[in-house]
Structure 1
Amino acid sequence: MILINYFARYRDLLNLGGEKLPLTTDLDTIEDVRRLLMARGEVWTNVLGECNLMCALNQELCQTDQPIEDFDEIAFFPPVTGG
């Protein structure tokens, strides 16, 4: 089982703060999870298909090619800026 969290406007657009998914043999990386979620439809593709999408694995920033394991926590969020 993996935990997926959506933050900021992603949470608003998807109307979902988080969810749990079973870790199947075809889910090896965050990119695999992203593609699985985008297959849900247009809103999912628009949100998770953004080229500047940011992600974290177990609360550490990473790239979508990061391998995942059972009980991992994945977060998707838009780019953040500070000032």
Structure 2
Amino acid sequence: MKILYFAELKELLNRSTETIHLDTTLTVQEFESYLLKHHSELKSKKFQIAVNEEFVRQDDIVQPGDTIALIPPVSGG
């Protein structure tokens, strides 16, 4: 899976992308739990998850070859 980090998440982790190797499908909720175990600094951050450029729900499925984007809330004026 290719993970894309945007805005403050990118700055917090000091990376814009990461590849993780999982050989199984996960729900979005399971993926988020996995990610927070490996990047505990994200626990206090709010973000939406998009899979293959589409926003998803917690019970949607992610596959090993998917591209997953973590997108924090955006404000502007």
Q: Is the TM-score greater than 0.5? A: yes
User: 1:12: which partner in 2?
Assistant: 11
User: 2:56: which partner in 1?
Assistant: 62
Contact 1:28 1:67 in 2 (8 A): yes
Identity %: 31
User: 1:71: which partner in 2?
Assistant: 65
CA distance in 1, matches of 2:21, 2:66: 11
5 Å-filtered alignment, 1:11-30, equals 11-25=10-24, 27-30=25-28
Matched pairs, number: 77
For the aligned residue pairs, the C-alpha RMSD in angstroms reads 1.9
Segments of 5+ residues of structure 1 without an aligned counterpart are none
- Decide whether aligned partners of structure 1 residues 41 and 73 sit closer, same or farther in structure 2, where only a CA change above 3 A counts: closer
Q: TM-score normalized by structure 1?
A: 0.75
Contact 1:6 1:16 in 2 (8 A): yes
Contact 1:3 1:19 in 2 (8 A): yes
Match of 2:22, SS? coil
Segments of 5+ residues of structure 2 without an aligned counterpart are none
Match of 2:64, SS? coil
> 1:82 Cα shift?
5.3
CA distance in 2, matches of 1:8, 1:14: 10
User: 2:34: which partner in 1?
Assistant: 36
